[in-house]
Structure 1
């Protein structure tokens, strides 16, 4: 990998004529960087697409190529990418529907808005993987048709398709109105497709662990049910019947559904699987009574999920604040707190509650400044990145709590150049603070030079436009490839040096 040329390819200040020169010598890594340039001309995009189909696919998905730019015979993957974005031609779809390469037919089956004759061809494909892919993404009418397919793998894909009609999804759960499936992937791989004597894990590499069949396609049917239960289009009445199923995975699939009756919530709240209870705890449709019951759950994961529920009662959330590790995350319920609730939270005697509030970035100046004067370091770390804090308040945080808040102070978008220099001079130093300073827009040459002393901050500092030009040039020969690449990508690199580095 040529780090210098990769860096130049990503440099936003690279002149267009040097982009042209790089295209002529580009390998895959350089081409990838060039393809991501927002200033790429159409002619340059065409030249890059001609270098390799991987780059052409990327450019097609980015909307940099049109159907007139692609030969589907020479670059089938790029043509399929255009079909996937809706920019391909119908005749391409008809060509790929009978392509001898299975992977191309499978990719086509996932494309939107296919002509009806193409979907008919794909639905009759001899490869089940192609038909299953079509079933996963197709229209309601075709999904209803494929629900009767004799292969259980196709029905499993229909169950996952959110366009499948609700009545069809219910039939997949109950089996009513559908002929039984005749085959599954396990049956396909047996010399005799008759029922096995006993369920057993199958050793085929392309089957999931535990796949088995005794003639009823058990593992595939189980996965079909799981997909249907997770599908929001499945009627709630049909899904609710699985709340007492012996399969923990099926019960777990129900827990995040917003449309279940309260009696099902109660049943799931007592589920032995913590994952089921955790998903239920985060479900915004669950009523306060069940949420309060979940607040006493023995599993910290359940209580943590409850804290992330956007409709958790505020008093319940504050009681959880000190019992679960939430971290510096803005919880949905805190983000939605009313002005009166914000004032109440700001004066809570529990620092864990004040820390949660401090994660907001739209606090009134008075409350923001009061939290910035808090005596608890957790609160200060949470409030330190808040816009609008004065330099005096940020320096005061450092004076009072030093290394515990230093890195968070450095993330404040309004941190002044002098404050960032103060951060880099702190004794003892904090390595993470160097990384935050190195990516800050207000970092000065002085602070960036200090950041170069930290291994992980060094590439960040090398890419900063405020770094002195002689230092940028010197870093081009750094032994660490990431550093030299970052220096080459620095927009402050003189154009004369860019010209010298370009073959």
Structure 2
């Protein structure tokens, strides 16, 4: 390591702006060792903390330093690190700073519909936390719970485990997932010794009891009304009133509890959007399904013909996630609390209908032989959904998807199987995001010097970080404030050179900065 007697950024003539640029670049340099990363945590330049802690693939020693760091900014950035082990991130559930806990509850960045769940102990801590009496936090415990609920970090199995938890508030929490609980689990909650749990179970009666739902149904148009009519038990009186008024008909057509007489009438409604929802239902008889398969509207016919009988509601919901949109709009398909049997997905993978194969391609646990077939599927949406969702999607397919799906590139860049080499043929691509990917290829025969003048800033940054750049050119880029950050991220820089830059920036080797 270079001597700490090396001049600081100021004494060596380097500006504060240049020093900060180096620190931000070093923070994301893939060749930076633990010693370099630990020194960054000691820097008073906070701009380097977030890229290091939120985006870095950190070794254990650095993780421990981050978790023990006095600054909530450091710990909060790590709470969002998608590369970090959820067990390590989960330790922040006990963090004294509410904003750090809120960042943990909000989930990793970039956002994704498929996130590795937090451990149960972290979830329990966040779900049962209470605000300190007399303390007015910037983020309340309830707000943190709301963040967690929509983060994708709660696995579908968690509510089932909570039905038998020692803490009554977690058993009451499990009642909120009433629709997905087994009959035995529901009965256990109804007979719970704690009155608050029994009350939580009683309030969910409207999921099954049409009269209870009718009593709770607001008359005005609002989200609670739409939610009840979309997913809870529907009485004949409520269905008749909706039909007579022409209100909430798509919700009624979707709802699995809608009475049969109402379904029959909705199937003949003039609005094709209503009929599409009817055509997707799992409780249709052969006659009604056959009639919808001959509907004058193409979307209705497609929905009726795609999914043969017998059907389940979970299968209906799985198809809802992939029908009507292309792979670029769908991308990563989130886990559901009620998934079809894995065998159904395997059957879909072998189907002659591309819409069923798209459903199969969205499953990350699809068997390897089925995934291999879908990787060569003639339907591009099938292939690209597999690329976004299956961990065994081949690298060449990931690159194909990267080129075809602009909206999904942020997610695809997080996947280690996305090719980062062999990209010379893409250096002149019309799309700047594609050129930027190619500009970072460390195996290029010639360094991407011309891309240092590319009109797109992201391409210029990627070119400056390419380890194929000549050493003298890299040295010049490090001294130019316009390119110093990207040059400091260049993997060709050894730990010795990175430490030298830290010396020049005045970064100490002592205790962490607060």
* Runs of 5+ consecutive residues of structure 2 not aligned to the other structure: 1-16, 106-120, 150-161, 179-188, 312-323, 334-339, 363-367, 388-392, 405-411, 506-514
**What are the Cα deviations for residues 385-435 of structure 1, in whole angstroms up to 9, with x where unaligned?**
995999xxx9xxxxxxxxx99956xx9x899977x434546xxx5436943
**What are the Cα deviations for residues 20-60 of structure 1, in whole angstroms up to 9, with x where unaligned?**
22223366653332333332331332115445784486589
- Equivalenced residue count is 385
Correspondence for 1:85 among 103, 118, 123: 123
Residue matched to 1:106:
142
> Partners in 1 of 2:346 and 2:461 — Cα distance?
32
* Runs of 5+ consecutive residues of structure 1 not aligned to the other structure: 124-132, 149-157, 159-163, 182-216, 314-323, 346-351, 372-376, 395-403
> Partners in 2 of 1:70 and 1:365 — Cα distance?
44
What SS class does the counterpart of residue 12 from structure 1 fall into? coil
Higher relative contact order structure (alpha carbons within 8 Å, sequence separation ≥ 6):
2
> Partners in 2 of 1:262 and 1:441 — Cα distance?
60
Q: Taking structure 1 as reference, are residues 145 and 367 closer, same or farther at Cα in structure 2, changes over 3 Å only?
A: closer
- Aligned-pair Cα RMSD in Å: 6.5
Residue matched to 2:213:
173
What SS class does the counterpart of residue 96 from structure 1 fall into? coil
8 Å Cα contact 2:213/2:233 also seen in 1:
no
Residue matched to 2:228:
228
> Partners in 1 of 2:239 and 2:123 — Cα distance?
39
1:250 aligns with 2:288: no
TM-score, normalised by the number of residues in structure 1:
0.51
> Partners in 2 of 1:451 and 1:308 — Cα distance?
48
What SS class does the counterpart of residue 124 from structure 2 fall into? coil
1:9 aligns with 2:9: no
TM-score, normalised by the number of residues in structure 2:
0.50
8 Å Cα contact 1:8/1:498 also seen in 2:
yes
Residue matched to 1:214:
none
- Deviates most, 239-248 or 492-501: 239-248
Q: How far has the Cα of 1:267 moved from its partner?
A: 3.4
> Partners in 2 of 1:456 and 1:446 — Cα distance?
21
> Partners in 2 of 1:63 and 1:294 — Cα distance?
52
Correspondence for 2:39 among 21, 24, 38: 21
Q: Taking structure 1 as reference, are residues 422 and 236 closer, same or farther at Cα in structure 2, changes over 3 Å only?
A: same
Question: What is the correspondence of 1:114-193 to structure 2 with a 5 Å cutoff?
Answer: 142=196, 145=199, 164-166=204-206, 170-175=210-215
Residue matched to 1:47:
69
Q: Taking structure 1 as reference, are residues 104 and 417 closer, same or farther at Cα in structure 2, changes over 3 Å only?
A: closer
Q: How far has the Cα of 1:438 moved from its partner?
A: 1.6
Q: Taking structure 1 as reference, are residues 168 and 241 closer, same or farther at Cα in structure 2, changes over 3 Å only?
A: same
What SS class does the counterpart of residue 30 from structure 2 fall into? coil
8 Å Cα contact 1:388/1:414 also seen in 2:
yes
Q: Taking structure 1 as reference, are residues 292 and 437 closer, same or farther at Cα in structure 2, changes over 3 Å only?
A: farther
1:462 aligns with 2:472: no
What SS class does the counterpart of residue 229 from structure 2 fall into? helix
Residue matched to 2:438:
438
Q: How far has the Cα of 1:458 moved from its partner?
A: 0.8
Residue matched to 2:6:
none
Q: Taking structure 1 as reference, are residues 496 and 136 closer, same or farther at Cα in structure 2, changes over 3 Å only?
A: same
> Partners in 1 of 2:126 and 2:380 — Cα distance?
54
Question: What is the correspondence of 1:255-404 to structure 2 with a 5 Å cutoff?
Answer: 255-258=253-256, 264-271=262-269, 275-281=273-279, 326=326, 336=347
**What are the Cα deviations for residues 193-231 of structure 1, in whole angstroms up to 9, with x where unaligned?**
xxxxxxxxxxxxxxxxxxxxxxxx7438x5433222334
> Partners in 2 of 1:294 and 1:253 — Cα distance?
18
Q: Taking structure 1 as reference, are residues 405 and 76 closer, same or farther at Cα in structure 2, changes over 3 Å only?
A: closer
Q: How far has the Cα of 1:64 moved from its partner?
A: 3.8
8 Å Cα contact 1:49/1:55 also seen in 2:
no
> Partners in 2 of 1:63 and 1:174 — Cα distance?
46
> Partners in 2 of 1:47 and 1:235 — Cα distance?
51
**What are the Cα deviations for residues 289-329 of structure 1, in whole angstroms up to 9, with x where unaligned?**
6566556667677678779869899xxxxxxxxxx985788
1:421 aligns with 2:475: no
> Partners in 2 of 1:484 and 1:269 — Cα distance?
64
8 Å Cα contact 1:7/1:488 also seen in 2:
yes
What SS class does the counterpart of residue 219 from structure 1 fall into? coil
Instruction: Report the structure number with the largest CA radius of gyration.
Output: 1
